[in-house]
Structure 1
Amino acid sequence: MSTVPNGPAPAEVADVELILDGNHEHDHEPIPGKKYGPYLVSDRRPIFQYSVVRNLFIQSLPEYLVDENEFNAHYFSKNFGLMLYTDDDKPDWKAFVDKVNELNDNAEPDERYKVFYLARHGQGPHNEAIELYTHAVWEEKIGMRKEYKGLKLGPDPDLTEKGKNEAISIGNIWKTQLQHHSLFEAGALPQKFYASPFTRALRTLELTWQDIVLDLPDAPRVKIRENLRETIGYHWCDKRGVMTEVKEVFPWIVLEEGMHDEDKIWTETREDELCGSMDNRLREVIDDIFMEDGETFISITAHSGCLRCVMRVVGHRLFRLETSRMIPIVVKAKLLPEFKDKVKFPERVIGIPYNYTPKNYESLKRKEFDGTPPPTDGTKKVHVQIDGVDKH
């Protein structure tokens, strides 16, 4: 069993104050360092109890009230599911931000609230293969191949043309909210960006945010977390690329400390989502974000299985996201009793930490989509555009 470092132990992070007492079983190190097995499963204990604020976005309501298919087809493209409206029936992002700030202002010292913008990458060749040949055939015949009938499946595939257009769709929806619904003035733009190390996630983030945020002179850097990768093993699409090469393509990323250049984690054995290893590694990401970041509005661009685990860890309903869909969720973290006097939250960061001026920013013009090639069977797709989202 190899040891895979994954950044500094939280005790080494400058933004986190650790206070020791003589009664803790790990007096020298209240939060043990990360020691990983083949699937990035750490022996670090959970630090927070999580829950979800359910009355701000419709996707956080129970399944019997909101159908995920209806959300993906309709509500997503409107206001990302926001339930707060102004008197003239526009999404009230200011009321939303005020509510989140109020929750933090009134929180106990061992509590903190954050907004996670959970974004799934656009269509990759593996997604196209599943659509063309069914999921059963993918699992039995295709997933372990690097290429199949002209589809380059891995390692680390890029987006298809359809996937690129889907990512542009997300950027167009953000632009609509920024231009017409005062999302920027309200302060609801992401303050910090995290992403999976895979090209399909980074390409989605690039096409979504490049001409909104990433092209700014003082644009924020996107932090890569190894643990934000998709289910590990077996499928070649889930073997990541060489990070020095990936960084040449996406120079605005920052790799977490200790990350291997090559993928030393992928194996021919598939990680089992239900055995708990994925939940554990995603819990560590969320724990670290709450311990290290004073920012409230956090963008996370990753994968379906990965984001499903994030939702399970924080107590959100398991919401199935189509390719290149994004949902905001509001999460409350409360320190577990054994850490209450040993971990102090970082000081809250108020405002957007980059110079964004939408009234003068040329990039807010909505982009036109490239033509998506027709399916290989020769049938013609019917194209309908709804608020920047391609529906076929």
Structure 2
Amino acid sequence: MSSDISHSIPVPASSPRNFHFKYTVQKGFFLQSENSTDDTTFDFKKQNFGLIERVYPTDKQETDEKIWPRFERYIRSIASSAKEGESFKVLFLGRHGQGWHNVAEAKYGTKAWDCYYSFLDGYDNLTWSDALLTPVGQQQARDVNTLWKEQLQYGMPAPETYYVSPLTRTIETADLSFQDLELPQGKKYKPYIKELLREALGVHTCDRRSTKTQISQSFPHVAFEPNFSDLDPLWEANYREPRSARRYRLATFLDDVFANDDGVFLSFTSHSGAIASILEAIDHRAFKLETGGVILVVLKAERVERKREVPPKEPSEAPPMCDGPPGMEGNHVSVG
């Protein structure tokens, strides 16, 4: 990314298109999109990823067909009959499993994490720069894999594209979730790395990615989007991306996907903050995801023939670094 682009807009995203999409969440399909669902107690693993049992206009008469094939048939019918400039897609939004940065924040407390430890590559024999999954995080991804194996047997549609953040913990999560599934012909798991699908940028070393060379060596099966640079062009040591900028970045990511991907069922393996920004950008209700959590959304997109509005550049969201390790006070909140 050229420096003139990165300084002309408040976030490190691609140059604004001459069009964008208006997104509308389609309710009545997944419990996570319903305002009545309590995100503090909801367990997608016990409720078929949240799929609502219902009747569809495309259901066959007098059939005992299971809900997933009926759901897919209806979604594909509305996708194929969409008006010009409109499209429908189902997004599988998965948060990575527990990483060592999550352990560190829980250990030191959020206040200490934000003003001191998050600036470091690691401490106390913990390393969280481009954090790896912990054994707990690996098991969380395997649990999702088990759920996929079960639901695929009941006709759950497999993703047609697997978009993955370039951070190590998300690639590990996607691999453990999808790599050994018996997928339909033509839907082979192939992680496609997208730069803009990352967590909030800057300051926190856990959100600084490895080089393309290192990623390729560790995960030779991944594919990279065009012009993916070797060095991380987005992470800054002294500027933490504000929420408004992150929302704009993830909205431009969605615009790119909807403009270029003809698939209907798409998987995004990402981070808590990035997924929260996607939900905000599409005007979905806030829905907190635990590490390893998954939320599915049916989304309608309508092309709008003007550039997406760019938010003003705001101050860094990170506090100044403390002079030394602070006390262990601070309430825990999960990080990406």
Report if TM-score (shorter chain) is over 0.5: yes
**Residue 117 of structure 1 pairs with residue 85 of structure 2:** no
Alignment correspondent of 2:155? 182
**Residue 248 of structure 1 pairs with residue 217 of structure 2:** yes
How far 1:120 moved relative to its partner? 0.5
Alignment correspondent of 2:22? 49
Alignment correspondent of 1:3? 2
Kindly report which structure 2 residues correspond to 1:173-212, keeping only aligned pairs within 5 A, or say none: 173-179=147-153, 181-183=154-156, 188-212=157-181
CA RMSD, 1 decimal: 2.6
1:36 is matched by which residue type in structure 2?
Answer: S
How far 1:163 moved relative to its partner? 0.6
1:230-250: CA deviations, max 9, x gaps?
111111101100111111221
**Residue 35 of structure 1 pairs with residue 5 of structure 2:** yes
8 Å Cα contact 1:129/1:138 also seen in 2: yes
Alignment correspondent of 1:67? 38
Alignment correspondent of 1:170? 144
Per the alignment, do residues 40 and 165 of structure 1 end up closer, same or farther by CA in structure 2, a change over 3 Å counting? Answer: same
Give the whole-Å Cα distance in 1 for the aligned partners of 2:186 and 2:135. 29
- Counterpart of 2:135 (choices 148, 161, 164) is 161
- Counterpart of 1:266 (choices 235, 240, 245) is 235
How far 1:98 moved relative to its partner? 2.0
Alignment correspondent of 1:7? none
How far 1:145 moved relative to its partner? 1.3
Give the whole-Å Cα distance in 1 for the aligned partners of 2:95 and 2:214. 23
Per the alignment, do residues 141 and 338 of structure 1 end up closer, same or farther by CA in structure 2, a change over 3 Å counting? Answer: closer
Kindly report which structure 2 residues correspond to 1:197-346, keeping only aligned pairs within 5 A, or say none: 197-212=166-181, 219-274=188-243, 276-338=244-306
Alignment correspondent of 1:129? 104
**Residue 151 of structure 1 pairs with residue 123 of structure 2:** no
Alignment correspondent of 2:315? none
Give the whole-Å Cα distance in 2 for the aligned partners of 1:121 and 1:93. 25
**Regions of 4+ moved over 6 Å:** 86-91
8 Å Cα contact 1:153/1:237 also seen in 2: yes
Secondary structure of the residue that 1:69 maps to in structure 2? coil
How far 1:112 moved relative to its partner? 0.3
Secondary structure of the residue that 1:70 maps to in structure 2? coil
Per the alignment, do residues 289 and 140 of structure 1 end up closer, same or farther by CA in structure 2, a change over 3 Å counting? Answer: same
How far 1:190 moved relative to its partner? 0.4
Give the whole-Å Cα distance in 2 for the aligned partners of 1:144 and 1:190. 36
8 Å Cα contact 1:193/1:223 also seen in 2: yes
Per the alignment, do residues 40 and 213 of structure 1 end up closer, same or farther by CA in structure 2, a change over 3 Å counting? Answer: farther
1:331 is matched by which residue type in structure 2?
Answer: L
Secondary structure of the residue that 1:36 maps to in structure 2? helix
Mark the runs of 5 or more structure 1 residues left unpaired by the alignment.
5-33, 340-392
Of structures 1 and 2, the one with the larger relative CO (CA 8 A, separation 6+) is: 2
Per the alignment, do residues 306 and 90 of structure 1 end up closer, same or farther by CA in structure 2, a change over 3 Å counting? Answer: farther
8 Å Cα contact 1:56/1:82 also seen in 2: yes
Per the alignment, do residues 96 and 218 of structure 1 end up closer, same or farther by CA in structure 2, a change over 3 Å counting? Answer: closer
TM-score (norm 2): 0.82
Give the whole-Å Cα distance in 2 for the aligned partners of 1:320 and 1:203. 21
1:38-92: CA deviations, max 9, x gaps?
8413440451111100110010012xx1111111xx3443311000258999961
TM-score (norm 1): 0.70
Give the whole-Å Cα distance in 2 for the aligned partners of 1:324 and 1:170. 7
8 Å Cα contact 1:41/1:277 also seen in 2: no
8 Å Cα contact 1:52/1:315 also seen in 2: yes
Per the alignment, do residues 139 and 287 of structure 1 end up closer, same or farther by CA in structure 2, a change over 3 Å counting? Answer: same
Mark the runs of 5 or more structure 2 residues left unpaired by the alignment.
56-61, 308-336
How far 1:211 moved relative to its partner? 0.6
Identity of paired residues, percent? Answer: 32
Give the whole-Å Cα distance in 2 for the aligned partners of 1:148 and 1:88. 60
1:184-233: CA deviations, max 9, x gaps?
xxxx110111100011000000111111169x998343211110111111
Secondary structure of the residue that 2:92 maps to in structure 1? strand
1:361-384: CA deviations, max 9, x gaps?
xxxxxxxxxxxxxxxxxxxxxxxx
How far 1:326 moved relative to its partner? 0.9
Per the alignment, do residues 96 and 157 of structure 1 end up closer, same or farther by CA in structure 2, a change over 3 Å counting? Answer: same
8 Å Cα contact 1:117/1:327 also seen in 2: yes
